[in-house]
Structure 1
């Protein structure tokens, strides 16, 4: 919609009401602020939801792979042959053996439930960026060194260099019953993955040490698989699943974390709908301010009509006036949203200090920090939606102004 110089001059004049129209200016300012806050809320919430899903996916799938192959009974004896078949499957980029077993750990009288992970040297090296203290280089087979999660270290009160005791209930048999197997391990490193449930439970050790601890011989617990496309992991591994039928079961990340990611998807859609309604309510302020502006300018509109202004010109003037308010509010909302996202962690800490409440409990939220990841397409959709709502809100007042009859307005002037 292209405006002439005359139409743009009138539109600018109406966007900045005079001294006697301060109430209209106030309502217009409130309209702009309402649209800004609505758009900012949408940008913030959707970015946080996207970030939450992305961080969970990166940390959970990045650590556990896209799928696991586990034998019936928990022990995979001929795992070398299975591993070779997995690596030959088209679409598989990495396959590695893994041992994972829930046990107990104690230190200075404290006992915590743990998840022992026996990893290959290559998998242990992948944790090097997560290390908070110590060194993973000391985790060698037979060294009795382990790496533990940061939250587990805090719960046990253990530090690098301390000796923790790992308790395996499946110990040796005696005339008095089964004696649990207890082995002392030195804490060589403390890591933080960023997922609370992992950081409070994981004890990582070389695979040979895990086999010794669990008395499993040369067998393993499962095989981790990473594929070229995590969203197509079920299709990629379908031939392998048929081949291993009756011997092992293939479980992908969608099945393992189905309830969590489905809940996030539902919540994401629900939040978008609710906050879109907030933006819709905000543009009603534009509607009300334009209606008041039209009523206040009825005499001016009539004079403009008698001077030759067309109905189309008046329509464009008032549509432009309202749309500019919505556009400015949308731009300001996007800027405010990105500023909030950039300083999100300090803002969360500030609110926690002011309210005295823990707003981001890792034991509930899974992640240790508030995540955010903005999707450009989603931001564009939010902006277009706000602009569309703003445009629609201007139509009724604009048509009302354009249909003003100058004869009826000026007949008694």
Structure 2
């Protein structure tokens, strides 16, 4: 919208309050604040939702892969052939054998359900999710035949275990006796305690070398599954399709969507719902802008009539009041962007302060899965939020601006 010098001067004059117009300026200020809060709320919520999904995906796929090829009875036959074929398939980065079995763990008189994972020793040490997440001990202590394991920090707290202490793993598949099957109990030393940041994993995982897991579960040379990482997680089904004939009759292929379908679908639905709900805040702010402009037009009716008699066109009046409304909306957007950026930068500190003041645990890891409030801002989403706000502001200013442009100077000045 291009304005000439006179139109710019008048628009600037209408943005600055004079005596008798303070109330209109206050309403305009509330409009700016409402737009700012709406934009900030949308950016904060969408960034947190994106961060929550991204953190969950990175950590879940880092430990479970983008897909697994799992044997029907927990034993995958010909896994070496399947893994080798997978590594040669275009789009697949890696295919590693894995053993995963739910068992019971006991220490210090406490018993807890755990998920035992057997990995090759090189996979344990190169796993990006575990690297740098060891709180005590050392993953180098975990070697085949050492009878040492790594456990999650929440599990360590529950069992009262620490590096150097012992825990017993109880497997229901033990030796047969005349009175029935006796559970297999094997004692291991805790070699490291880690925290990956997902509560359920930190509370359940017991990681050990694959050879030790095969011995514990009496699998021989077999494994339970092959974990697959791909170049494009969104197209994992198409990438793994060539492996389906080889897997038929031996097991199933399960991708990350199937493994966590309920969680990620719920996140996506909540993300869309929150966007729609928070857009209503911006819509209310747009109505505030419209109301402040309507009051401004009514207060300036005599000025508008005089300008029209001096030669100002209807288009000029339309542009002047549209500029006033869009300027209010733009100020609100800029302030909202700043508020959103500040909140996201200090987000964890803000949560901690609110928890301290209220005495409530606002971010319970057992409910939220992650131990800290995540954030990941998408520039395209920010651009979409700004665009939506500008469009709503435009339509909100259109009605009062057209009313100003339609003012009949003859009718207004007749009784002056």
The TM-score bracket by the shorter chain reads over 0.9
1:226, CA displacement in angstroms?
A: 0.7
- State yes or no: 1:213 paired with 2:228: no
Task: Give the conservation status (yes or no) of the 8 Å contact 2:121–2:144.
Answer: no
1:61, CA displacement in angstroms?
A: 0.9
Q: Please give the per-residue CA displacement for 1:12-47, whole angstroms capped at 9, x wherever unaligned.
A: 111111121110000000000000000111001111
> How many Å separate the matches in 2 of 1:302 and 1:92?
72
Counterpart pick for 1:140 among 127, 139, 143: 143
1:407, CA displacement in angstroms?
A: 1.3
- State yes or no: 1:42 paired with 2:77: no
Matches within 5 A, 1:84-163: 84-125=84-125, 126=127, 127-163=130-166
1:128, CA displacement in angstroms?
A: 2.4
Counterpart pick for 1:351 among 335, 349, 354: 354
- State yes or no: 1:368 paired with 2:371: yes
Matches within 5 A, 1:173-212: 173-212=176-215
Q: Please give the per-residue CA displacement for 1:32-78, whole angstroms capped at 9, x wherever unaligned.
A: 00000001110011111111111111010121111101112111232
1:121, CA displacement in angstroms?
A: 1.4
Task: Give the conservation status (yes or no) of the 8 Å contact 1:77–1:218.
Answer: no
> How many Å separate the matches in 2 of 1:328 and 1:167?
64
Task: Give the conservation status (yes or no) of the 8 Å contact 2:35–2:333.
Answer: yes
1:177, CA displacement in angstroms?
A: 2.4
- State yes or no: 1:269 paired with 2:269: no
Q: Which moved more, 1:318-327 or 1:76-85?
A: 76-85
What is the TM-score with the length of structure 2 in the denominator?
0.98
- State yes or no: 1:242 paired with 2:241: no
> How many Å separate the matches in 1 of 2:185 and 2:248?
37
Matches within 5 A, 1:299-314: 299-314=302-317
- State yes or no: 1:20 paired with 2:23: no
Counterpart pick for 1:321 among 314, 324, 327: 324
Q: Please give the per-residue CA displacement for 1:156-205, whole angstroms capped at 9, x wherever unaligned.
A: 11111111111112112223322211111111111111111111000000
Counterpart pick for 2:385 among 364, 382, 387: 382
1:378, CA displacement in angstroms?
A: 0.5
Secondary structure of the 1:128 match is: coil
Task: Give the conservation status (yes or no) of the 8 Å contact 1:172–1:180.
Answer: yes
Task: Give the conservation status (yes or no) of the 8 Å contact 2:116–2:207.
Answer: yes
> How many Å separate the matches in 2 of 1:191 and 1:19?
66
1:147, CA displacement in angstroms?
A: 0.3
1:86, CA displacement in angstroms?
A: 1.7
1:230, CA displacement in angstroms?
A: 0.7
> How many Å separate the matches in 1 of 2:234 and 2:68?
15
> How many Å separate the matches in 2 of 1:38 and 1:330?
9
Task: Give the conservation status (yes or no) of the 8 Å contact 2:118–2:208.
Answer: yes
> How many Å separate the matches in 1 of 2:150 and 2:48?
31
Unaligned runs of at least 5 residues, structure 1? none
> How many Å separate the matches in 2 of 1:277 and 1:245?
51
Task: Give the conservation status (yes or no) of the 8 Å contact 1:287–1:394.
Answer: yes
Task: Give the conservation status (yes or no) of the 8 Å contact 1:148–1:191.
Answer: yes
- State yes or no: 1:65 paired with 2:71: no
Q: Please give the per-residue CA displacement for 1:309-350, whole angstroms capped at 9, x wherever unaligned.
A: 111111111000010000110111011011111111011111
> How many Å separate the matches in 2 of 1:54 and 1:163?
35
> How many Å separate the matches in 2 of 1:15 and 1:256?
56
> How many Å separate the matches in 1 of 2:337 and 2:203?
38
1:408, CA displacement in angstroms?
A: 1.1
2:345: which partner in 1? Answer: 342
Task: Give the conservation status (yes or no) of the 8 Å contact 1:319–1:395.
Answer: yes
> How many Å separate the matches in 1 of 2:315 and 2:89?
67
What is the TM-score with the length of structure 1 in the denominator?
0.98
Secondary structure of the 2:149 match is: strand
2:407: which partner in 1? Answer: 404
1:256, CA displacement in angstroms?
A: 0.8
